[in-house]
Amino acid sequence: MTEGDELPATVREAAHRFGTTPAFVTPGGWALDHATLDRVSDEVAAGLVERGVAHGDLVVLLLPSTADYVVAYVAAAKLGAVTAGVNPRYTPTERARVLAVARPDVVIATPDLAAGLPADVLTDGLPDGDRTVLVEPASRVEDLLASLRVAGGRVPALVPDPDRLVTVVFTSGTTGVPKGAVFGNRELSAARRFDVGHAWGGGGPAISSTPFPHVGFMMKLPAMLRTGSTTHLLDRWRAADVLRLVEELRLPTVGGVAPQIALLLRVPDFDRHDLTSVRAIIAGGAASPPALVREARERFDAGYSIRYSSTESGGVGTGTAFDADDEEALHTVGRPRGDVEIAIRDDADRELPPGEVGEVCLRSSCMLRGYWRDPGATAATLRDGWLHTGDLGSLDDRGLLRLAGRSRDMYIRGGYNVHPAEVEAVLSNHPGVADVAVVARPDPVMGELGVAVVVPVDPDRPPTLAELRDVGGSQLAGFKLPDDLVVLDHLPLTSMQKIDRETLRRRVGGMRD
């Protein structure tokens, strides 16, 4: 097997090595084993060929994070097609934005996730008319993408090509316009080497903690399959259910975003669970406050590794050691992993010495090649081979990265990026809102919460938080809606007549360290 055929070759070899060992166990209790994943994805690939899908085409998945999604992703990869998923938590408005940027060749969707989308969004730009395929979520292996499968169908193995594109992972842009980070075989192979090297086997039970369109799944599926692990899928992540599974499955590692770790610790009967199997906690996606790291290490009696990365970095960046001293574990995001290089640069793109704060720039074999159909954003983010993250930080004399904030206003709520400009544009539609700004406030569980600061049209009848959430609920995912409301008679401005967000953060108790 070569890096030129990462996902299809991994699936075929895993089928040979692990056979009927379950790869995924569904909430309904039925399993998709490695051999069946290979066979059914072949049949779906053959069905896609019959519908005209070809090498290099873009396949967009409007599917929940289920076995159906896994099969569709593998099937597209076997054709040399490119796959992009859309977060199932998105509203129809948000899903439509992704599709408008993606301009897919084919869409595979469940009826509920296709519902509410304008007809032209599902058909415009698709060759030969409407190539949207509706599928029902499977309740057993035989039903997996049944409307797409060709019984006994197979597709020829691809000629290995490390440059072949495999996936586009969409992330919200600063104004709500999605951007798609592009990755190919070379980057998937690099991500796999970061996690498991060249070994086969050694995996055990695991729990899926992030939606499948997330970079954590799209880039790391080959590594998951290579270990022969069995991943248990969830209808929805609930702390009490996950804690029960950790105990029942005797999991050695607990992973997720930092707010999920915080929620696990707050399960009322946490201390009555037998969690002695847990030896390691891996938390990424959002900041891990020092108090959370201390509590988790003590109550789980396990090492805690903070992972700093992004969609653009391919889900790989830095990490703290499981046995780190308190200074590293509590106040840094660790050292670069694998071949990751970190540089701190000033506004003139000059590298800064240890201790000085500047923009965190990253370079590795795993980072994005560019943004899908967006050369302007690509040029702004990738310069001289370096990924400019927009985050602020410094390197200390031990090579540890210390984050100092973000150069943009984006905040992270529960592991999800929220861009205030997008939320403000929606909330401003409330007839009682004269002006609005959204800023973040630290929260011990979710990491950060959104606070809507509103100037009302009528000071005697300001809009309520419930009204604002109702206005935003049809256009924004739940994690983007404000969690609190502050009413002011005017928004503070800087000398450049821009909203003074730092003053607002102080006002709502949201100053970042």
Q: How many other C-beta atoms are found inside a 10 Å radius of the C-beta of residue 297?
A: 18
Cβ contact 26:234 at 8 Å: no
Q: Is the pLDDT of residue 320 over 90?
A: yes
Going by C-alpha positions, the residue among 473, 97, 418 that lies closest to residue 285 is 418
Q: pLDDT category, 216, cuts 50, 70, 90?
A: very high
Using one digit for the tens of pLDDT, what is the confidence trace for 125-152? 454 456 788 999 999 999 999 999 999 9
Q: What is the mean pLDDT of residues 340-350?
A: 93
Order of strands across the sheet that contains 303-308: 253-257, 280-284, 303-308, 318-319, 335-336
Total-model pTM: 0.86
> Three-class SS of residue 246?
helix
Residue 424: predicted pLDDT: 87
- Write the DSSP assignment of 140-155 as a string of letters: SGGGTTTTT--TT---
Q: Is the pLDDT of residue 1 over 50?
A: no
Cβ contact 475:93 at 8 Å: yes
Residue 293: predicted pLDDT: 92
Residue predicted with more confidence, 406 or 9: 9
Identify the DSSP state of 5: G
Identify the DSSP state of 156: P
Which amino acid belongs to residue 288?
S
Residue 2: predicted pLDDT: 46
Which amino acid belongs to residue 393?
G
Using one digit for the tens of pLDDT, what is the confidence trace for 417-468? 888 878 887 898 899 998 888 999 999 899 999 999 999 999 999 999 999 9
Residue 491: predicted pLDDT: 86
Cβ contact 419:486 at 8 Å: no
Q: Which CATH class is domain 3-226?
A: alpha beta
φ, ψ at 274 (rounded to 5°) = -85, 100
Going by C-alpha positions, the residue among 393, 306, 275, 416 that lies closest to residue 342 is 393
- Side-chain-side CA neighbours of residue 305 (13 Å): 19
Q: Is the pLDDT of residue 290 over 90?
A: no
Contacts of 43 (CB under 8 A, 6+ apart): 149, 150, 151, 152, 153
Using one digit for the tens of pLDDT, what is the confidence trace for 2-57? 445 899 999 999 999 999 999 999 998 999 999 999 999 999 999 999 999 999 99
Q: What is the mean pLDDT of residues 313-327?
A: 95
At which residue do the structure tokens 């599928």 appear?
A: 135
Cβ contact 458:432 at 8 Å: yes
Domain boundaries, the chain: 3-226, 411-508
Instruction: Please count the residues of the chain.
Output: 513
Q: Is the pLDDT of residue 251 over 90?
A: yes
Using one digit for the tens of pLDDT, what is the confidence trace for 49-83? 999 999 999 999 999 999 999 999 999 999 999 99
Contacts of 323 (CB under 8 A, 6+ apart): 303
CA–CA separation, 333 and 307 (whole Å): 6
Residue 513: predicted pLDDT: 43
At which residue do the structure tokens 């809507």 appear?
A: 452
CA–CA separation, 318 and 322 (whole Å): 13
Residue 496: predicted pLDDT: 47
Using one digit for the tens of pLDDT, what is the confidence trace for 346-405? 989 999 999 988 899 999 999 999 999 999 999 999 999 999 998 888 999 999 999 876
Contacts of 200 (CB under 8 A, 6+ apart): 13, 17, 226, 227, 228
Going by C-alpha positions, the residue among 409, 408, 412 that lies closest to residue 480 is 412
CA–CA separation, 195 and 203 (whole Å): 12
Burial of 70 (0-12, 13-18, 19+ CB in 10 A): buried
The token duo for 423 is 């939320």
Residue predicted with more confidence, 513 or 346: 346
Residue 510: predicted pLDDT: 56
C-alpha dihedral sign at 474, 477, 483, 484: negative
Contacts of 411 (CB under 8 A, 6+ apart): 417, 418, 420, 439, 440, 448, 450
Residue 209: predicted pLDDT: 86
CATH of 411-508, one of 3.30.300.30, 3.10.20.30, 3.40.470.10, 1.10.150.530: 3.30.300.30
> Three-class SS of residue 325?
coil
Q: What is the mean pLDDT of residues 79-94?
A: 94
Residue 4: predicted pLDDT: 59
CA–CA separation, 281 and 252 (whole Å): 9
Residue 175: predicted pLDDT: 55
CA–CA separation, 17 and 34 (whole Å): 9
Q: pLDDT category, 511, cuts 50, 70, 90?
A: low
Residue 117: predicted pLDDT: 81
Residue 127: predicted pLDDT: 46
DSSP bridge pairs for 417? 412
Cβ contact 98:170 at 8 Å: yes
Using one digit for the tens of pLDDT, what is the confidence trace for 471-501? 999 889 999 999 999 999 988 876 445 678 8
Residue 123: predicted pLDDT: 57
Average pLDDT, the chain: 91
φ, ψ at 253 (rounded to 5°) = -135, 135
H or E element in which residue 240 lies = helix 239-249
Residue 300: predicted pLDDT: 97
CA–CA separation, 195 and 221 (whole Å): 11
Contacts of 446 (CB under 8 A, 6+ apart): 259, 262, 286, 413, 414
Contacts of 78 (CB under 8 A, 6+ apart): 8, 11, 41, 42, 45, 155, 158
Using one digit for the tens of pLDDT, what is the confidence trace for 101-112? 999 999 999 999
